[in-house]
Amino acid sequence: MTLRGERQADFAYQAVYRYMINLINEVSTDTRVKLPSLRQLAGRLNVSISTIQYAYSLLEKEGRVYSVAKSGYYAWPLSATTVAGASGDLLDRLYAAARSPCMAVFSGDEPALLASLDGTLLRLERELVRQYPRHLQPWSQPCGVWELRAALAARYTSSPTRCWHADDIYIGADLRGVLDILIEVLGLRGTTVIVESPCDWLILRLFQDCAVRIIELPWTPEGRLDLATLDQLLRDEPVHLVLLSSKVSLPSGNALPAHDRLSVAQMLDRYGCWLLENDTFGELGFKEPQAALREWVNPERLMVFSSFEKVLGSEAPYGYLLSRRMSSELQRQFLLRSFRLSSIRQRAIARLYQSGRIDPHLRALRHLLQGQAAEMSGRLEQHLGQQVSYRMPAAGAAFWLGSTQAVDMRQVFKRLLAQQVVIAPGELFSVSGLHHQHLRVSHTFHGQPNLEIALAAISEALRQAQVG
């Protein structure tokens, strides 16, 4: 089978995606099924490895497949939606439930569902294809096309001393691939890392797979970081780096006050510690723009990672990294990964930034998200009342809810699956047993579920799962 002859309106990864859906749907056993490797599929379908990784990234995001370190990708068979029972890994069960077409999926945090730029990107690509015929496109630019790297460098530059250049930017097929490289280049295997908590489960799982010792620094109920504890950890522990959000921490929805950002920067400088900044939601804050944490720290001990997907949509799943240091090793690792990304797609994204079209889109998206959050807050008060506590999120598309009564949140999860509602239990955002009384609930969700019925189901599940 070859994908080169697909109709012009389609892109290669879309054809790969459809092929993989059919392959997964053919599964008829009740055990996990290993899928072909990236290289196997690339050879079978006559496309690049990065195109396969692109499609796998979408499938993993939808919960149709999941990856196992050093093993490959696996699919849950359709008959395995019964995985909602008590056995199995909680995250695998969430993914398996989320892929079912009958489920109301409230477990994600996908801002671009309200306003993606997928259509705009596709139109730009068609224009660019006429300017850059296939035979004129570079065969391989392992760190990303220069136009997009230069556009990102310009956007992140804020002063003559805090400037970035195209050579400081590295673009990968998705955020997971970029973080894999980062772990390798920084030599994090077996080291100690401090992460804010709650923390994205993708990051936690990747660190765990590499035997990274994770020390969690929880956000307080008041929306602050415990700076005294951070200072003590930096003084007493062999901390390799600290991972914090640039402006707003998700899923907690907290924004670090300016005074605290300065204190954190001073601590990191005092102990000579690296900052790994998560800028995934950096441009989605609801309030007036504030300085990112990176503006306060030593730029020579700073790395920043992010992706386009949260602001542009599923057509732009690329991850990227900013670093002034270790350029030769980063270039080598990106080359080894064989990221043969679509140069046309990257140029289309670059044009969004270079033309300034990204800014009105971001303003509109932030406005929609803030309005949706306010509406969801009213619904939460109406249906959950005194059952949960929360702070209004400062960014993103989800609420971080804490149960005011002791509950078995796994039972809440299980009962809701029986009602065809998927939420994200708080324990997924910790590796040390934190957040068992929390859950993440999206206010932009897949499908058209009846929100009143779903929130009533969450209320009843919380009531029935009370313990003590």
C-alpha distance from residue 29 to each of 33, 63, 73 (Å): 8, 18, 17
Is residue 151 within 8 A of residue 135, CB to CB? The reply is no
pLDDT digits (tens, 9 = 90+) for 273-313: 999 999 999 999 998 667 899 999 999 999 999 999 999 98
User: What would the mean pLDDT of 59-83 be, rounded to a whole number?
Assistant: 66
Bridge partners for 440 per DSSP? 400, 424
Is residue 342 within 8 A of residue 11, CB to CB? The reply is yes
Question: What dihedral angle (degrees, nearest 10) is formed by the CA atoms of 331, 334, 336, 339?
Answer: -140
Which pLDDT does position 316 carry in this prediction?
Answer: 85
Q: Residue 353: pLDDT above 70? A: yes
pLDDT digits (tens, 9 = 90+) for 363-417: 999 999 999 999 999 999 999 999 999 999 999 999 999 999 999 999 999 999 9
Q: Residue 155: pLDDT above 70? A: yes
Q: Which residues of 346-369 are buried (b: 16+ CB within 10 A; e: fewer)?
A: bbbbbbbbbeeebeebeeebbebb
Give start and end residues of each alpha helix (H) in 62-136.
90-98, 118-131
Q: In which band, very low, low, confident or very high, does the pLDDT at 12 lie, cut at 50, 70 and 90?
A: low
Which pLDDT does position 91 carry in this prediction?
Answer: 87
Q: Residue 29: pLDDT above 60? A: no
User: What would the mean pLDDT of 329-349 be, rounded to a whole number?
Assistant: 84
Is residue 422 within 8 A of residue 445, CB to CB? The reply is no
C-alpha distance from residue 391 to each of 36, 261, 382 (Å): 44, 20, 16
Q: In which band, very low, low, confident or very high, does the pLDDT at 49 lie, cut at 50, 70 and 90?
A: confident
What region, left, alpha or beta, does residue 268 occupy, with left being phi > 0 and alpha being psi -120 to 50 degrees? alpha
Q: Residue 7: pLDDT above 50? A: no
Domains of the chain are 12-75 (1.10.10.10), 90-108+360-464 (3.90.1150.10), 118-355 (3.40.640.10)
Q: Residue 445: pLDDT above 80? A: no
The structure tokens listed for 324 are: 């002034």
Q: What whole-number distance in Å separates Cα of residue 380 and Cα of residue 369?
A: 16
Q: Residue 43: pLDDT above 80? A: yes
Q: Residue 81: pLDDT above 50? A: no
Bridge partners for 245 per DSSP? 278
The structure tokens listed for 182 are: 């980062």
Please compute, for residue 154, the number of CA atoms within 13 A of its CA located in the half-sphere on the CB side: 12
Is residue 245 within 8 A of residue 238, CB to CB? The reply is no
